[in-house]
Amino acid sequence: MKHLTWFLFLSAINLLPLGAQSVLLTPRAGLNLSTITGAEATMKTGLNFGIGGEYLPSPNARLAFASGLFYSMQGCDLKESAVNPEHNYLSLPVLLKYYVQPGKEGNHQGLSLYGGPQFDLKAVGNKVSYATEYSGVLLSDDMSKTFGMSAVIGVEYLFEVGLVLAANVNIGLTNKAKDGFLNYGTLLTSQNTYKDLVIQLSFGYRFAIL
């Protein structure tokens, strides 16, 4: 409950316009390529979707603050195993963005770079997919922690019509496994450290609300 309270508090703070000269919203969706470092695993495909917000201190500022709330389907494909973990998160990034070209009257276009921390809250119980008819069986929540953090590094391109294309890497900073979590033989053991690694490709449409 403490983690959930902090997560909702951070969400509310990051959605406030804070007297912004320009506030932009970007609904977006895309593809995840995720794995879990420390495991003998390969990339797993999933989806990400949500809405991003952006605060510009002035209409022609190159630096902006970006946040949002996103649903992210993550996990990995374990080598030589029919059991593959699936972890779905609500993600709250807190990012600093730099526009390569200065904006004109709040109309930012072209290339931008961004980075910062991201807070992840587990959206549903742990789930696994079997290579049988038992796909999507829920596991005990003893497997992974409810709350985690990652570092986000990305690049984005904004077209004149408002279309946004973005690519970023989310590097896990916290061990996602609880002490004594469920083992998968020699592929996952409770003695190892496991962190998320996610490559995200997404597209969206940006519009101003202030």
CATH number at residue 75: 2.40.160.20
Which of 111-120, 143-152, 180-189 is modeled with the greatest confidence?
111-120
Which of 3-12, 42-51, 72-81, 141-150 is modeled with the greatest confidence?
42-51
Q: What is the mean pLDDT of the chain?
A: 79
Give the mean model confidence (pLDDT) for residues 182-202: 73
Given a cut of 90, whether residue 67 has pLDDT beyond it is: yes
More confident residue, 131 or 35: 35
pTM of the model: 0.79
What whole-number distance in Å separates Cα of residue 128 and Cα of residue 35?
Answer: 14
Per the structure, the complete domain to which residue 61 belongs is given by: 2-208
- The pLDDT value given to residue 13: 46
Domains: count for the chain: 1
